[in-house]
Amino acid sequence: MNARHEGIFTSAEEAITFACNYSSQQYALSPMAKILQQGAYGSGRGLVGLDGAGQAGMVLAEIATLDYWQIVALVARKAIKSESCNCGSPCCRGWRMTELFREAISQLADQVAREARDVLPVHAFRAAVLRKHFGEKIHVLDEAEKLGIDEHPANRHATTIRKWIRELEKNGLTALSERLDEVGMLVRTA
């Protein structure tokens, strides 16, 4: 086996998850996270301790070479999405979107309107479809109703937006896989 291709990650997704978790202070501070890290990555793939910070940095450096919109999509997927809120406002439900996730969604909602043909000129609706896509527990049709958008156009536009974001994410992962493979960070299973 070529030493250059011994690799450490089995996929681009695993690499991003590792890099993002490693970079997140919340994650680093959690004792449970430390245990999990030892379990999952302490198996001779060199991702524990000092080495881990270096590996995370290398992955982030490769992510940084991707197309900007691919980066935003990958960030939105891996970002911590909500945090607790005690603002005391009567409408507060005790949680809010994190700044990082809100910003990523907002930028993507602008970009899909520029790139995809015929999407509704309602930023909040496009954002809702994207939030749902990235795993938030909301109902797109409920959001549409609040915004005064009928079910039929809502479904049609949601389909267009989903198609766009899936494609963007898929292309981002493919590009990152190629980058990581080139620098020898992916495990060659063949």
Name the residues that contact Zn ion, by CB under 5 A: 85, 87, 92
What token pair was written down for 126?
A: 């496009």
Q: Which is nearer to Zn ion, 61 or 85 (CB)?
A: 85
CB of 89 to Zn ion, least distance (A): 5
C-alpha separations of 80 from 101, 129, 141, 142 in Å: 7, 18, 24, 23
Beta pairing partners, 186: 9
Q: Which is nearer to Zn ion, 136 or 169 (CB)?
A: 136
- CA within 13 Å, CB half, 12: 21
What token pair was written down for 154?
A: 């809502």
Q: Which is nearer to Zn ion, 3 or 87 (CB)?
A: 87
Q: Is the dihedral of CA 181, 185, 29, 50 positive or negative?
A: negative
Number of Cβ within a 10 Å radius of residue 136: 14
Q: Which is nearer to Zn ion, 60 or 80 (CB)?
A: 80
**Cα 45 to chain centroid, rounded:** 24
DSSP string, 66-78: S-HHHHHHHHHHH
Return the amino acid letter for 20. C
CB of 83 to Zn ion, least distance (A): 10
CB of 104 to Zn ion, least distance (A): 20
CB of 103 to Zn ion, least distance (A): 18
CB of 142 to Zn ion, least distance (A): 20
Q: Which is nearer to Zn ion, 68 or 95 (CB)?
A: 95
